[in-house]
Structure 1
Amino acid sequence: MKHFKVLGSGCKNCENTAEMIEQAAKAAGVDVEVEKVTDMGAIMGYGVMSTPGVVLDEKLVHAGGVPAPEKVQEWVQG
């Protein structure tokens, strides 16, 4: 199972990013866990200055804006 963390304040872009990850995983038949992290200290701990950020298995893979659907599919299937 892949563990994703969506880093952000809970804004619409953060919600859309989490939903996109969940939908891509469902379409690919991949088990994922999506955790929403809103604590600014935890977000800063990953070095994210612009949200949403995405962490996959404790590795920062994206920051700043909603990721491209192709990129999300790559994370899920990769």
Structure 2
Amino acid sequence: MKIEVLGTGCTKCKRMFDNVNEAVKKAGVQAEVIKVEELNEIVTRVVLMTPSLFIDGEEVVTGRVPTVNELVEILQGA
């Protein structure tokens, strides 16, 4: 599983990245977690609001920071 957190480095983006890493551990899934801060890459993905969460190339959350428990549920359903 490839998980990408897209954001320019704001506080919310950093919090989402931390929550995703914690959720991956809690869910016990194998995943590569990547932080994408390059504006060109974010624009290429047509992300209108950050932070944005992509799992295996599909946008699943945008414009908000989900809780760790919510992320665990998303990861277990992926």
TM-score range, shorter chain: 0.7 to 0.9
Q: Percent identity?
A: 35
Q: Per-residue CA shift, 1:30-70, capped at 9, x if unaligned?
A: 12111011111211122211110011000111110212434
1:1-78, aligned counterparts within 5 Å? Answer: 2-78=1-77
Q: Specify the code of the residue in structure 1 equivalent to 2:36.
A: V
Q: Return the letter of the residue paired with 1:18.
A: F
Query: Runs ≥4 in structure 1, deviation > 6 angstroms?
Result: none
Distance 2:49 2:70 in 1: 18
Q: What is the distance in 2 between the residues matched to 1:14 and 1:53? A: 8
Distance in 2, Cα, partners of 1:73 & 1:15:
18
> Normalization by structure 1: what TM-score?
0.86
TM-score by length of 2: 0.86
Question: Is the 2:23–2:69 Cα contact (8 Å) retained in structure 1?
Answer: no
